[in-house]
Amino acid sequence: MKLNLGAGLAVLALSAALTACGGSTGTAPATTSPAVTEGAPPASATAPAASVTPPPATSAPPASAAVDLKTAPSSAGDIVVAANGMSVYFFTKDVKDSGTSACTDACLAAWPPVTTAAETPQVEGVTGTVGTITTPDGAQQVTLNGLPLYYFAKDTKPGDILGQGVNDVWYLADPSGEMIRMGASG
């Protein structure tokens, strides 16, 4: 009778242990236990078990999917903006497909070039032809329909279009790569 009672208790203890493990039909990841040095207490007796939390899932696109130019609404209509949301402009003194910029020296302080590190600029919503030219300092300036693009130094935040129509030579770009000549600010 004692033999049957001992076997029954062993089965009951094993059953309880399996139930405590969750009874999952899936496989659990393999874990390794730290080595126990003779005379040292097991790790579980000295420190709480570490919890492994997977990194949160993100919906951010990979870095290679970053865009150089995109579109945004403005009081002048849909315009082309840089990745940072800042408006970009054409300079009417530039010559299409010349591979150079007519804005030099002091002009560049007020009208910095839109540059890219990408071999081929990436766009979102822009339908004009995008390319690059090399600036005198070796940077890659973004072009749209063969014309270099610039920022206006007085535009301080996304949505500003203070450069529109300045001196009748600076104009915003529309998504097809055309100059927006209306709504000039003077």
Q: Torsion over CA of 145, 146, 151 and 152, rounded to 10 degrees?
A: -100
Sign of the Cα pseudo-torsion (98, 102, 104, 109, in order): negative
Rounded distance between C-alpha atoms, residue 53 and residue 161, angstroms:
46
pLDDT in 10s for each residue of the chain, 186 residues: 454 545 554 444 444 443 344 444 444 444 444 444 444 444 444 444 444 444 444 333 334 458 999 999 999 999 999 999 999 999 999 999 999 999 999 999 999 999 999 989 999 999 999 999 999 999 999 999 999 999 999 999 999 999 999 999 999 999 999 999 985 554
Helix (H) or strand (E) holding 7: helix 2-20
